[in-house]
């Protein structure tokens, strides 16, 4: 009979099939019919079958029991440990009766699980908060140890942690000489991809317009000609397939760079990135990896479908992946080089309005690497710290020039990497100096700026260093409005960044920085 429960108990067939239909399914069950046929065809007789069926039922039941015991044995042993610890504490404690009560309740659970131990130990420790002693210490030690073990059981290996982690790739700085030419951004990344394809035989790149056209901004120009259509190719307009192909290839040992033409289109592939790619390492406890590099470009075209920056929406769905936001193509190259030396799945978001900006080509374009999770200070200052990434870096620097003219020196920090984020507390160091901080990006309010703010203020302890309330300048809640004017009013611009910093300084020193409006 078709399994009546279906997908889950909430979807049981009994809820929607008629009693007649259910009865029919039962009587025409395939296994039942097979059994009948075997008897009718003299393959076997009823007695034999019944005997075997009875034996099999017993066997299965025995195996089930033994599996259940094997599962329970370590848990029962752990519970016994906890009960013994509770006993010892009760001997010395003024709360002896209550502790024995806790012990009794824990002992009474027929099939305890780990959660039970912790709930009861926690209750005991709450009771014991006003006491000290060796046996209480032993209980605390047990809990600490068990917390660590459970952290490993349930929470470890979200990211690649072994030697193939991107965090272990040694940093190699970009080298410049008199001969280093000044090129446009797209030429830098083109040279970079050329070097990557030359040195890494497992590298394949594909996406919409990547092959023949060499991508919409010419980053892959000439690469299909040079390395062949097998290594650099076009796909149809189907982002989910692009991701799916990349995941499959990566799991099998290739190194795919799959391109999503614009950041805005990433949403079509986001379900796969979240469910299939980001969870792979964790849910297999490191047993499987898929070192996919998703390349995209974004933040800064104009208009509702081409200039979104939903970075928070993205990073919150792909924990387990690396998410990088290089401000220019040199930084992007460093990241690609790092990623190709490691096994982390990653998303690299290049800045759309950076392809025609001038950058110097490093002599070691194929070798230099950029470490993940390390911000860069773009401009030193003492009055306030501006934390940002991507296209907003240039806007923040513009605002800083304007601030300098009124006597305010802002420190501008490019975060560069959202997952992982500021691993060594560089932003905190800046905050210690300035005591004033502003987070800027193009995401929606409460988006990535909030993520960064929580990390700095709470995780890094930045709160204790604040002299002024922390500020945020973000994009609008609505999608970017049309035209250049719409874009101006939907995203941070030099004027709004200037205003935010100036207002902070006005509050600190109203005589030095009188109100502007």
Partner 1 sequence: MTTKVLVPRLGEGVEEVTISKWLKQEGESVKELEALLEVNTDKVDTEIPSPATGVVLKLVLPEGTVARVGEVLAVIGQPGEKADAPEAASPNPPAVDSQSKLPAAPVVIHAVVIPTGNGDLGFVSPVVAKMAAEHGVDLHQVKGTGLGGRITKNDVLAFIEKGGAAQAVGPAMAARILPQQGDQLIKHSIIRKSIAEHMLASKRISPQVLTVMEADMSRVVAHRAANKETYARDGVNLTYTAYFVAAIAAGLKAYPRTNSSWSDEGILVHKVVNIGMATSLGEEGLIVPVIKGADGLSLLGVARAVNDLSSKARAKKLQPDEVKGGTFTLTNHGVSGSLLAMPIINQPQCGILGVGAMQKRAVVITSKDGTGDDAIAIRPMVYLSFVFDHRILDGASADWFLVKVKETLEVWQ
Beta bridge partners of 293: 257, 346
Interface region with partner 1, contact rule CB under 8 A, candidates 56-64, 214-222, 398-406, 492-500: 492-500
The answer to whether residue 118 is catalytic is no
User: For strand 358-360 and strand 182-184, is the pairing parallel, antiparallel, or unpaired?
Assistant: antiparallel
The dihedral sign for the CA sequence 220, 222, 227, 231: positive
Neighbour tally for 404: CB within 10 Å: 14
Task: Give which of 330, 369, 325 is closest to 349, Cα–Cα.
Answer: 325
Regarding 475 and contact with partner 1 (CB under 8 A), the answer is: yes
Closer residue to partner 1, CB minimum distance, 160 or 473: 473
Please tell me whether residue 108 binds partner 1 under the rule CB under 8 A: no
509 contacts partner 1 (rule: CB under 8 A): yes
- The answer to whether the Cα torsion of 289, 328, 448, 388 is positive or negative is positive
- Judge whether 313 and 358 are in contact, CB under 8 Å: no
**Least Å from the CB of residue 357 to partner 1:** 23
Burial class (CB in 10 A: 0-12, 13-18, 19+), 197: buried
469 binds partner 1 (CB under 8 A): yes
Tell me: does residue 7 bind partner 1 (CB under 8 A): no
**Closest CB to partner 1 among 245 and 382?**
382
Sole binder of partner 1 in the list 435, 437, 459, 485 (CB under 8 A): 435
Q: How far is the CB of 169 from partner 1 (least distance, A)?
A: 36
Taking CB under 8 A as the rule, does residue 219 contact partner 1? no
List CB contacts of 437: < 8 A, sequence separation 6 or more: 384, 385, 386, 387, 427, 430, 431, 456, 462, 466, 470, 471
At residue 507, the 3 state secondary structure works out as helix
Cβ-contact 239, 268 below 8 angstroms: yes
Q: Which part of the chain contacts partner 1 (CB under 8 A), choosing from 106-114, 168-176, 406-414, 484-492?
A: 484-492
CB of 507: closest distance to partner 1 in angstroms?
4
Does residue 46 touch partner 1 according to CB under 8 A? no
Looking at the Cβ atoms of 482 and 489, the one nearer to partner 1 is: 489
Q: Which of 13, 306, 316, 506 is catalytic?
A: 306
E strands, 208-332, are 232-234, 255-260, 293-298, 322-324
Shortest distance (Å) from residue 474 CB to partner 1: 6
504 binds partner 1 (CB under 8 A): yes
* Cis, bond preceding 420 (omega within 30 deg of 0): yes
**Residue of 323, 349, 490, 502 interacting with partner 1 (CB under 8 A):** 490
Q: Which of 242, 437, 500, 501 binds partner 1 (CB under 8 A)?
A: 500
Instruction: Compute the least distance from the CB of residue 300 to partner 1, in Å.
Output: 15
Query: At CA 149, angle to CA 146 and CA 151, rounded to 5?
Result: 110
Contacts with partner 1 by CB under 8 A: the residue count is: 35
Q: Mark the segment that binds partner 1 (CB under 8 A) among 43-51, 150-158, 411-419, 485-493.
A: 485-493
Q: In what helix (H) or strand (E) does residue 500 lie, and over which residues does it extend?
A: helix 494-508
Q: Binding string to partner 1 for residues 438 to 467, with x set by CB under 8 A, is what?
A: -------x-----------------xxxxx
Cβ nearer to partner 1, comparing 207 with 486: 486
Question: At closest approach, how far in Å is the CB of 85 from partner 1?
Answer: 31
Residue burial 273-310, b: 16+ Cβ < 10 Å; e: rest = bbebbbbbbbeeeeeebbbbbbbbbbbbbbbeebbbbb
In the complex, the residues that contact partner 1 under the rule CB under 8 A are 435, 445, 463-477, 489-493, 496, 499-500, 503-504, 506-511, 514-515
The residues annotated with a catalytic role in the active site are 306
């Amino acid at each position: 009979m078709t399994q009546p429960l279906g997908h889950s108990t909430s979807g049981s067939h009994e809820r929607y099939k008629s009693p007649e239909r259910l009865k029919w399914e039962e009587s025409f069950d395939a296994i039942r019919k097979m059994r009948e046929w075997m008897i009718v065809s003299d393959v076997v007789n009823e007695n034999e079958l019944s005997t075997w069926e009875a034996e099999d039922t017993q066997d299965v039941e025995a195996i089930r029991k033994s599996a259940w015991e094997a599962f329970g044995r370590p848990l029962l042993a752990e519970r016994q440990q906890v009960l013994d610890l509770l006993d010892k504490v009760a001997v010395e404690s003024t709360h002896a009766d209550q502790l024995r009560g806790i012990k009794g309740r824990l002992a009474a659970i027929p099939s305890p699980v780990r959660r039970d131990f912790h709930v009861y130990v926690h209750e005991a420790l709450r009771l014991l908060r006003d006491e000290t002693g060796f046996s209480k210490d032993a209980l605390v030690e047990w809990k600490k140890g068990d917390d660590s073990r459970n952290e490993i059981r349930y929470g470890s290996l979200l990211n690649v942690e072994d030697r193939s982690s991107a965090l272990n790739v040694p940093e190699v700085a970009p080298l410049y000489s008199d001969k280093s030419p000044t090129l446009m951004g797209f030429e830098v990344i083109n040279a970079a991809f050329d070097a990557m394809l030359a040195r890494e035989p497992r590298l394949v790149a594909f996406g919409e317009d990547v092959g023949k056209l060499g991508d919409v901004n010419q980053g892959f120009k000439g690469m299909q000609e040079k390395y062949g259509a097998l290594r650099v190719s076009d796909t149809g307009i189907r982002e989910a397939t692009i991701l799916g192909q990349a995941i499959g290839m990566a799991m099998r040992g290739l190194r795919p760079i799959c391109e999503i033409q614009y950041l805005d289109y990433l949403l079509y592939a986001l379900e796969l990135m979240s469910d299939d790619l980001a969870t792979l390492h964790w849910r297999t406890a490191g047993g499987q990896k898929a070192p996919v590099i998703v390349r995209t470009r974004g933040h800064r075209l104009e208009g509702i479908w081409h200039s979104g920056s939903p970075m928070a929406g993205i990073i919150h769905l792909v924990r387990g992946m690396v998410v990088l936001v290089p401000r220019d193509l040199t930084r992007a190259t460093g990241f690609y080089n790092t990623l190709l030396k490691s096994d982390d799945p990653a998303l690299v978001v290049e800045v759309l309005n950076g392809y025609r900006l001038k950058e110097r080509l490093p002599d070691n374009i194929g070798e230099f690497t950029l470490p993940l999770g390390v911000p860069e200070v773009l401009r030193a200052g003492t009055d306030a710290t501006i934390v940002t990434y991507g296209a907003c870096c240039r806007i923040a620097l513009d605002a800083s020039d304007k601030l300098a003219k009124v006597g305010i020196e802002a420190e501008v920090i490019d975060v560069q990497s959202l997952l992982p984020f500021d691993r060594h507390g560089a932003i905190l160091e800046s905050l210690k100096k300035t005591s004033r901080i502003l987070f800027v990006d193009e995401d929606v309010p409460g988006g990535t700026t909030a993520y960064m703010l929580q990390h700095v203020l709470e995780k890094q302890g930045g709160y204790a260093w604040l002299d002024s309330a922390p500020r945020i300048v973000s994009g609008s809640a609505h999608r970017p409005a049309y035209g250049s004017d719409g874009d101006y009013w939907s995203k941070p611009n030099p004027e709004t960044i200037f205003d935010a910093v100036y207002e902070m300084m006005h509050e600190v020193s109203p005589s030095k920085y009188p109100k502007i409006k």
